[in-house]
Copies of this chain bind each other. A is one copy, B any other.
Amino acid sequence: MFIEVVNPNTTWSMTATMGPPSIESHYDEALAVPGILTEIEKGERDSVDGYVIACFGDPGLDAARELAGGPVVGIAEAAMRAAAVLGRGFSVVTTLARTTGRAWDLAHRYGMRDACRGVHACDLPVLALDSDPDARRIVTEACLDALSENGSDTVVLGCAGMADLCAHISAEIGVPVVDGVAAATLTVPSLFTMGLATGKRGEFATPPPKRYAGLLDGFTTGG
């Protein structure tokens, strides 16, 4: 079983060579998608069995499901679905305030409008999660504030870059803390084990072959 974790920014990624250094706007997210799809097309040629999209905006998820034969799971989706079985409500703690809208979009899409009790920004840019020596403290405090304001049962970390903080924060705040990278990385093999993949009889069938122009000159599908 070969599962690929597609990291759509160019800072932490070993794989993606196309996209923004970090994703913290709709614009960044839109520009990360061609790189993600390139990786998945390459993965299909390499017989990858399933994919994780490792950015909390779950960028390109629908298009990736069209391309891939195996399952594709986004980390926001996996994190929210995991949190949903751990209690009645969760709080999301994310980076910049401008990303909270996208998190709410996804909560609605995944049927979590009621389960998601709040989306809270800690006001750190994504790259500061690595570079700011106070990052761990700041994110932990945002989690505590969120719990107290929302009365949630659990916390969801709203950025792939927070994965390393998960165990520490959980120990500090005393409630389950869900890291979507871990959740998605465990969900995809489970689906594979059950022989499950994206349904291909309609909306998510492989797109017909076309030739794309301009910057996207190299893009073709279906052949």
Contact = CB atoms under 8 A, between A and B. Distances in A.
Interface of A: 10, 16-22, 24-31, 33-35, 37-38, 60, 62-63, 65-67, 71, 73, 77-78, 81-82, 84-88, 97-98, 100-102, 104-105, 108-115, 147, 151-154, 167, 170, 174-176, 178-179, 182-183, 186-187, 190-191, 193-205, 207-208, 210-216, 218-219, 221
B34 A34 contact: yes
A101 B109 CA distance: 12
Given A86-B199, A176-B196, A194-B183, A31 B205 contact: no
Contact of A199 (B20, B102, B153, B215): B153
Count of identical protomers in the assembly: 6
13 contacts: A18-B213, A25-B63, A25-B207, A27-B66, A31-B37, A38-B215, A86-B197, A100-B203, A111-B115, A154-B199, A167-B195, A176-B197, A179-B194
A11 B63 CA distance: 21
Contacts of A108: 108, 114
A200 B87 CA distance: 8
A199 B87 contact: yes
Nearest to A205: B98
A63 B198 contact: no
B34 A215 contact: yes
Nearest to A211: B21
B66 A88 contact: no
Contacts of A154: 196, 199
A9 to B, nearest CB: 9
A202 B31 contact: no
Contact of A186 (B25, B98, B193): B193
A17 B215 CA distance: 9
The 3 closest A-B pairs by CB, nearest first: A111-B111, A18-B214, A153-B199
